[in-house]
Amino acid sequence: MDASLTLLFAVHETLHVRRDISLPKPSRRVPKTDQTFSRTVHNFCTSQKAVSFNSGSLGAHRGAHLLGEDLYKLLNEYLAQHLQGLVEESRSHTEEALLAFYIREWNRYTNAAKYIHHIFRYLNRHWVKREMDEGKKSVYDVYTLHLVKWRDVLFHNVVHKVMDSVLKLVEKHRNGETIEYNQIKLVVDSFISLGLDENDSHKPTLAVYRFHFERPFLEATKVFYTNESKEFLAENSVVEYMKKAEARLEEEENRVQLYLIGDIVIQLKKACNQVLIEDHSSLLRDEFQVLLDNDREEDMARMYSLLSRVHNGLEPLRAKFENHVRKAGLAAVAKVASDADKLEPKVYVDALLEIHSQYQSLVKRAFNDEPEFTRSLDNACREFANRNDVCKAGSNKSPELLAKYTDILLRKSSAGREDGALEETLTQIMTVFKYIEDKDVFQKYYSRMLARRLVHSNSSSDDAETSMISKLKEACGFEYTSKLQRMFQDIQISKDLNTGFKEHVQASIEGKSLDSTYSVLGTGFWPLTAPGTNFNPPEEVAQDCERFTRFYKHKHEGRKLTWLWQLCKGDIKANYVRNAKMPYTFSVSVYQMAILLLFNEKLQNTYEEIAQTTQLNHDALDPALLVLLKSKVLTSDSGNKVGPGNTYSLNLDFKNKKYRVNLNVGMKSETKLEEAETNKTIEEDRKLLLQSAIVRIMKARKRMKHQQLVSETINQIRSRFVPKVADIKKCIEILLDKEYLERLEDDELGYLA
């Protein structure tokens, strides 16, 4: 056993003298002492002196085997003895001194272990390898043996005191004191190094680290922040607490970078979120309404950031936000809606846009543009845009006013607005349009107003008109705008037709014609109806219309032209006015033109004479006469009264600041009549749309339950308007009467081809 004594002496020297020696790099020459120790290990393992088993090669092999086992046991015993001595020595240290002792001895021990592992390489390659190959779980390579002995002898005896010291150091750090945080990092590294897989000692695990470091660290973290948060809230406001919590969470993230490992991040965040946020979430949410009422955007952003860290933390905030926006929208509309009939479209739309813009900015800046908060904003805007004080006067009011505001923007009267500003406003119009439920109402009003702009050449810009239609098409599809686009095509075709007509007139010998322009409009695409009165146009107008009719029918044989006199207008010069520096030009409707031209023959005409000559009924004649009376072009002894028994005279002393006077203005009664007619056609169109949807669904499905058919119809029509269940049921009854559908058993409907 002389060799074994020599070897143990070498181990002793390595552990106590060569504490800072690292393994030599393979590329360098092995030091002479290392060669001596390695040779001693080799000689001891291959010696036969201590063995007297069977002769032959088997005996030699068995002897070497037993000698390797002896050496391994001696090393094992020596390490246990050495570590037990360190355990005794550790009892004299506490807190930071204990950490310094633990780290110092750990570094010395692992450095020595690397060196001993190197000089015992022959033992590792032969005896240890064979034992491990045979499945011996208690045999490790020499370096791993050092770690196992440290874990089993020293670590389990000192780990609780070490962790207490670590946690006290962390608490000091959390309280703002300066600490030697590298000590904690080295302790963490040692815990990780001691994680060895029971089935494969070469495979590292985090089991030791998780059980002995992570678990107590997280528990201590919860206790610390639970106590701190309760004390802080008892003396400070919720807003100040949010700032404190935000700072603490950031500190913990930095702490991971300083002396913890990334693996702990998820669990540490979870622990901090629970005690700093989730445990106080009710208190935070109660404060949210106060922040909304006072526009505390920065504090709302802080609350959003905190509550987004916990499960379902934001859902109550979204509900409160939606309710708040809805109330703000209703209040904004109520403020401007003192009289719904006199409400300016721009004022109404601006009130809706102001609320949307305000809270959309809040969603972007405070709530990180989160889709769920955007959905809450949309729900609130949809609610107050369709159900407010203005809409009480009529469910179609929102889309109607929006269409009227769009008309104001796109008419020539708004000229002077820059193209960029107009485009931006149209985009805002589409924002409100998105929330309007009755999109078919907007379409009906918009198409009528577009028709007037196109017929009267009153659009401020073709590009703006095209842009608006493109936006509507993108929002609602091709079908929604197909008629609008066809209206533009008709106007373009009419321009080419007028050019040809003027060339035809100039080449003809029919005499001088009026300076006229005609628009030929397709019946199925324009929301226009034939005039509700007979009309005998002035002779000059009648001749020019007849000339155009012959020209058109020559080009398009078989087509019928219906004259929409109520849309015709023109300019006439007033050469009769006394003391006028230059003749006035009156812009008039064709009805007003027919009335005024009668005064070329005589200066006075009775109501009956005018009605008989023009063939206009009271509904068309009275508004035209009333405008002429109010503008002082005509006078009457009965004032501004119109009707049978009145006589009208031409005012030879007519005066006006402008020499071009527009007399073609609609009366309020006409406007209300037109709105009533529009609303009537909307209801009729809805019935047809519902019926077509029902037939389309039943044609595809063949058989359906009554309730299922109602639900499917609502889903298909919802993008145009929100149908009433009662209206759908009426349409089903109509289709049953028309034998498109039939009743089957068990409340089922069937499709009849």
Q: What is the pLDDT of residues 343-358, one digit of tens each?
A: 889 999 999 999 999 9
Q: Which segment, 6-10, 32-36, 129-133, 350-354, is predicted with the most confidence on average?
A: 350-354
Largest CA distance in the chain: 156
Report the pLDDT value the prediction gives residue 471, as an integer from 0 to 100: 93
Question: Which has the minimum average pLDDT: 178-182, 200-204, 282-286, 642-646?
Answer: 200-204
Cα separation, 281 vs 497, in Å, equals 73
- pLDDT above 60: residue 291: yes
CA atoms within 13 A on the CB side of 534: 6
- pLDDT above 80: residue 497: yes
- Helices (H), ranges, 411-477: 419-435, 439-455, 462-476
Report the pLDDT value the prediction gives residue 59, as an integer from 0 to 100: 41
Cα separation, 504 vs 227, in Å, equals 97
Q: How confident is the model at residue 18 (pLDDT cuts 50, 70, 90)?
A: very low
- pLDDT above 70: residue 266: yes
Q: How confident is the model at residue 341 (pLDDT cuts 50, 70, 90)?
A: low
Q: Which domains does the chain have, with CATH numbers?
A: 2-158 (1.20.1310.10), 216-293 (1.20.1310.10), 528-669 (3.30.230.130), 671-751 (1.10.10.10)
* 167 vs 577 pLDDT, higher one: 167
Q: State the pTM of this model.
A: 0.77
Q: How confident is the model at residue 416 (pLDDT cuts 50, 70, 90)?
A: low
Report the pLDDT value the prediction gives residue 66, as an integer from 0 to 100: 58
Report the pLDDT value the prediction gives residue 10, as an integer from 0 to 100: 47
**What is the 3-state composition of the chain as percent helix, strand, coil, each rounded to the nearest 5?**
70, 5, 25
What strand order describes the sheet that includes 748-751?
703-705, 748-751, 741-744
- pLDDT above 60: residue 15: no
Q: What is the CA radius of gyration of the chain?
A: 48
Percent of the chain surpassing pLDDT 90: 34
- pLDDT above 70: residue 12: no
Cα separation, 1 vs 47, in Å, equals 10
Strands (E), 145-201: none
**CB under 8 Å, gap of 24 or more: what pairs does 131-138 form?**
137/198
Cα separation, 510 vs 501, in Å, equals 13
What strand order describes the sheet that includes 634-636?
604-606, 647-650, 634-636
| Rounded mean pLDDT, 728-741 | 87
Percent of the chain surpassing pLDDT 70: 86
C-alpha to C-alpha distances, 87 to 81, 111, 158, 718, nearest whole angstrom = 10, 19, 7, 79
Q: Is the dihedral of CA 167, 171, 174, 179 positive or negative?
A: negative
- pLDDT above 80: residue 421: yes
Beta bridge partners of 636: 648
Report the pLDDT value the prediction gives residue 513, as an integer from 0 to 100: 65
| Rounded mean pLDDT, 369-398 | 87
Q: What is the pLDDT of residues 424-439, one digit of tens each?
A: 999 999 999 999 988 8
Contact (CB, 8 A) for 560 and 518: no
- pLDDT above 50: residue 541: yes
Cα separation, 728 vs 711, in Å, equals 10
Question: Which has the minimum average pLDDT: 83-87, 415-419, 504-508, 631-635?
Answer: 415-419
Cα separation, 430 vs 356, in Å, equals 12
Helix axes 95-119, 2-16, angle to 10 degrees: 140
**Token reading at 728:** 């759908």
Report the pLDDT value the prediction gives residue 512, as an integer from 0 to 100: 58
| Rounded mean pLDDT, 177-201 | 83
Q: What is the pLDDT of residues 442-460, one digit of tens each?
A: 998 999 999 989 888 888 8
Tell me which amino acid residue 692 is: S
**Token reading at 138:** 């208690």
Contact (CB, 8 A) for 170 and 181: no
Contact (CB, 8 A) for 78 and 4: no
DSSP 24: P
Beta-sheet pairing, 660-662 with 647-650: unpaired
| Rounded mean pLDDT, 732-740 | 86
- pLDDT above 70: residue 745: yes
- Average pLDDT score, the chain: 83
Cα separation, 24 vs 733, in Å, equals 97
Report the pLDDT value the prediction gives residue 739, as an integer from 0 to 100: 84
Report the pLDDT value the prediction gives residue 470, as an integer from 0 to 100: 93
| Rounded mean pLDDT, 276-280 | 94
Q: What is the pLDDT of residues 449-489, one digit of tens each?
A: 999 898 888 888 888 999 999 999 999 888 889 988 999 89
Cα separation, 732 vs 742, in Å, equals 10
Report the pLDDT value the prediction gives residue 644, as an integer from 0 to 100: 87
- pLDDT above 80: residue 508: no
- pLDDT above 80: residue 415: no
Q: In sequence order, which residues have a C-beta less than 8 Å from that of residue 585 and are 6 or more positions away?
A: 571, 572, 573, 574, 659, 660, 661
Q: Which segment, 192-196, 261-265, 272-276, 482-486, is predicted with the most confidence on average?
A: 272-276
Report the pLDDT value the prediction gives residue 4, as an integer from 0 to 100: 41
Report the pLDDT value the prediction gives residue 673, as an integer from 0 to 100: 63
Q: What is the pLDDT of residues 75-130, one digit of tens each?
A: 888 888 899 999 899 898 888 899 999 999 999 988 888 888 877 777 767 777 77
Cα separation, 345 vs 671, in Å, equals 15
- From the number of C-beta atoms within 10 Å of its C-beta (0-12, 13-18, 19+), residue 282 rates as exposed
Cα separation, 35 vs 119, in Å, equals 8
Cα separation, 255 vs 175, in Å, equals 13
- pLDDT above 70: residue 691: yes
Q: How confident is the model at residue 241 (pLDDT cuts 50, 70, 90)?
A: very high
Q: How confident is the model at residue 340 (pLDDT cuts 50, 70, 90)?
A: low
Question: Which has the minimum average pLDDT: 243-247, 280-284, 307-311, 670-674?
Answer: 670-674
Question: Which has the minimum average pLDDT: 218-227, 259-268, 353-362, 391-400?
Answer: 391-400
Cα separation, 554 vs 351, in Å, equals 54
Report the pLDDT value the prediction gives residue 21, as an integer from 0 to 100: 34
